[in-house]
Structure 1
């Protein structure tokens, strides 16, 4: 009998010795690989909370959460996209993916032993949508019929009488854009009494004769003040027709798609509907469902991932991170789609913005402001009407007070000077908030509120928020506090006194929405956004710009 070189016991110990030497030689890399197995394969819907094609505010709720998870826990993420929830469940059940993000509902019974669910962090309702090639959008068509006429600037009076029911819902959704009052102003400023804006008390029509005389000599005929050449606001056929027949179907993730209908999350529908007006809601589900993250149950190799995910969600829930992200990404959407304001914005981009492109480029570059944000501010303030005015005394494209115009050394009725002056003032307000240690988005929203109601009133709101137990550092907090400054029991506690803070909230939310619409038009390469897209790409903006 031949003797073996090693007995079974000797071979076993030799194997252990070789394995130990390999671990020592390769360090922790082998352990890390076996324990964590990067990259983590994450399945997401085509378009969902995870990633917004059209939003300027970031990756969406799930996208930002996933990014934070990867950064905090040291993972590399590989993204897989699924057309439907069924496809996503199949991928993770067959070990072709490690996590599902952006899908709601519960784990299918047949996969319950393979998959775990994180805590519910948000709710959603599904809506069934239908292509208008198969069903007429009567509301949109009726609005188009009434608006395809030359309408004076006082559109509120004329159109409201003809479309009282529909426009009252529009007024509720965006009250500062469309209002049933006869004196409605396009700006976020209320045309009543004297107000303190930009740190100065405004006196109506101060020195306006001298301003008008100076600017009249400089303006081309199509930019003369309204008293000289009345401006009209008519809509075109193209305002009432969708951009083309590239439907939302090519972007959204569906669980079914039969006979021109599909079922999607109503929040995702709300995000994309302004850009695809030919897709309309048909029916909405009654029972809400919850969003969860889902991951595989894998022994050893997946144990680290499972542990890290559980810890991460404990931290997220303790810090109320999801609530903050929902406010950031969705808090500004109106309850109902405003067809009229979308059409008017598109018209302004086609007809009025091109004449100011060079000035907007200079203003954006000099003050490090995204030209899309500047466009949104101008549209909110004046709808690009150089002769726009308020009874409070603010005038011009950027609705600047006489006192502020003197401080800036500009003629506020000159549209080009108004753009340059308004952008400069926005940047000055931004700089004044530096010491408050705010996140960039919150800092810009605070800046916009200060542009509308004055820096002092915003700092009053910050202090009041802190006094009531808040941080005073987020727009989510401030939008709840600012309206309180119209009540004596609250403004009596502040340095600067009474403030129409509810107007500031509406003003900022409108601009956030317009900025979103503008970014979407550029991102989707729509013709209305072509000039702004070229303008934005020509600028080199830093992280402090928006």
Structure 2
């Protein structure tokens, strides 16, 4: 990276905005006290998690806004063309939306230095099509989101392989099409490597067949007249990278991918025999204290961590019950890696969630919906209840509720909901797998 704004970086912002460069844009932002940022409501950019706003792009742009000393105002858009349009027209100061910096896009807006490289990957189902190059895509059903760099790359490849064909979707994003491949309703799609890596954690049957492009830079987009802002961003990115904070953020979200929820019956039975006895009394104690079947708590813990007391995820949740720092503080535990504290904390949190649900929800639906809240957050549960009513379904019955949750990942549904995008299929799979593990555990223990 290289910056050409002010020697010494953004620390000079608070001292003198007139010392160097074209600072009119920065001055206006600081006078208004806000930075308007357009982003995508998606797992690699911005979403509402268990403990509030999160996402790689969100954390990165929040750090920049904090350095400027201004509030962050987010604008949501899923279509890259619309995102770039908002920036080009000056309706947003920055697009922090996981955009690749391409020559075609640089004709419209300014871009920052790159903060991460990605490659475009062709993704198919593990038991489906096995293309090894562009020519093998001929005859397959392929869909990609509209106005993306994927379309640009496919257009270039079509010059060499005229028979290559695909369908473009103006409404569907990469995450939606990956899920469509996972459900075997589509042969293949294209996704940036960071998006694919995150989604493979939840849909392990997705398989990368080959790289469609060379590495491409992700960067923030800014209006064409925002040279001073561009220089300020580049100087700040230099500083952020030199301090090791950029790499730490990348490691948090993409540093390692572990799939905790891939069902392996034989592995589960081995762990029932070899690992569960270490923690069985703790599950029994927690179950008794919080009124939860201990075998269900054990099944949930297996889904969360495979009963690994040292388990951790890229987003920072830890321990047997995979608690966030905020949740651990809420339930009053000091060490998430201590098995007793983690199990007690997880049981207390689940009991709290169950207690927050409307009285009209009876068992066992109450427990299934509480488990879904443990996974996706109570805010999205409230959104799904509203959506269920709008769809003419009963929000108090799990079999109706589970049909609605996946709709939270579709723009036409989530854009009017308070908490926005959620990977709604994940809590459905989460509850289903806990119930499967629970059944297998009861069978293994011969518990009636």
Same-fold call, TM cutoff 0.5: no
Higher strand share: 2
Bucket of the pairwise TM-score, normalised by the shorter protein: 0.3 to 0.5
Q: Which of 1 and 2 has greater Rg?
A: 1
